[in-house]
Structure 1
């Protein structure tokens, strides 16, 4: 039987993971529930005592763009959002190299520590890694503000183990344009509309609340 996770709780947990790195001395809902954390080569991740992998990424559009400039430093190789370079890792799926490298750093860290996730949650760049790691580790996961990570004939059917929750007013979810998402894609907006798109995890928590209130999103993933 598949492990099911509360979607609203998943949104709250991955948002809290940002604060764990940004303000490590402050009170945080994750404190006391962390088995291990990664903060290396501009890659961050949290592994909880419940074996949930949380992957923060970029909490604003500006940060997202900056990170994809920082990805230039990963492995001494240049990666760009419009990069045509792809590579296969961990499965027969062809991935965007920059996202793949990010996910592999997390996967190697888990392997070195003997961590085996039973569920994965990520936001932004972390959502890109989530789509990849759900496939390579064969577990369910939720990707908030998910960029496009794969392309080619190896893209699996939409009924994937990954749930991609994307705001219609978040342009990051359309990048890179020549790639595709991996998973079951749901879209929506929050209670408030913005003159400019907002990429923050707080806005995604708001979207989850609205979709669930409207009956357009189940309470847990997978649904059953």
Structure 2
């Protein structure tokens, strides 16, 4: 598969939120809230939560409203020895088991799906585009194949700021921060908001057009 434009990757994610039962889907999983879809083009799509409010209800219970079920800031070791946020690693392991035999050519993730995308993409060494990405790994040293992963993050999207960097958490791969003209809380997490800001004239020149990047 040829490099994809970042806007095309975002548009694919938007299309899956609008209509997940697409004719170009070859295989998919929907198990305990973990969703992933593999297309005829060889793209693995990993959706997450498209609304800010859903993040707290389903994915990251910071306030421990569901004792015994919330992962909070718990950290566990992956097979490589890297230290990951426990909830994100649990999600990623299910996606990894689905993706590994398919060997996708590209991975696109959003929100919780972007957390999994970072882990799965770096584990399999596959080009990965992650939108609205949370921080997933807690270690300073690099992880193998990080260069395959790109993260697109809005500075006003709370999800991109957790777990806290002060606790040692970080994203996997390159991170491009996009600063909006004004704050847009509660809507800034949607993939549509990411598409809008990526198209802004002041933002677009600072982002790679394609991923993987094409050498000049």
| TM-score normalised according to structure 1 size | 0.82
Give secondary structure in 2 for the equivalent of 1:160: helix
Which residue number corresponds to residue 174 of structure 2?
184
| TM-score normalised according to structure 2 size | 0.85
Change (3 A) 1:211 1:127: farther
Measure the CA separation in 2 of the matches of 1:216 and 1:69.
Answer: 31
Encode CA deviations 1:84-112: one digit per residue, 9 max, x unaligned.
Answer: 332213x342211110110111111234x
Measure the CA separation in 2 of the matches of 1:45 and 1:147.
Answer: 18
Residue 59 of structure 1 is aligned with which of 45, 50, 58?
Answer: 50
Question: Where does structure 1 lack aligned partners over 5 or more consecutive residues?
Answer: 25-30
Which residue number corresponds to residue 100 of structure 1?
89
TM-fit CA distance, 1:195: 4.5
CA contact (8 A) 1:130 1:141 kept: yes
TM-fit CA distance, 1:41: 0.7
- Residue 170 in structure 1 maps to residue 160 in structure 2: no
Matched length: 205
CA contact (8 A) 1:3 1:118 kept: no
Which residue number corresponds to residue 124 of structure 2?
137
Measure the CA separation in 2 of the matches of 1:213 and 1:170.
Answer: 16
Give secondary structure in 1 for the equivalent of 2:137: coil
Measure the CA separation in 1 of the matches of 2:201 and 2:151.
Answer: 14
CA contact (8 A) 1:53 1:117 kept: yes
CA contact (8 A) 1:148 1:175 kept: yes
Give secondary structure in 2 for the equivalent of 1:104: helix
Question: Where does structure 2 lack aligned partners over 5 or more consecutive residues?
Answer: none
Which residue number corresponds to residue 205 of structure 1?
195
- Structure 1 residues 1-224: aligned runs within 5 Å: 3-21=2-20, 24=21, 31-68=22-59, 78-80=69-71, 82-89=72-79, 91-111=80-100, 114-156=101-143, 160-177=147-164, 178=167, 179-190=169-180, 193-197=182-186, 198-210=188-200, 214-224=204-214
Encode CA deviations 1:161-183: one digit per residue, 9 max, x unaligned.
Answer: 11100001111101011211111
TM-fit CA distance, 1:34: 0.9
CA contact (8 A) 2:155 2:178 kept: yes
Encode CA deviations 1:94-141: one digit per residue, 9 max, x unaligned.
Answer: 211110110111111234xx3111110000000000100111111111
Measure the CA separation in 2 of the matches of 1:35 and 1:62.
Answer: 31
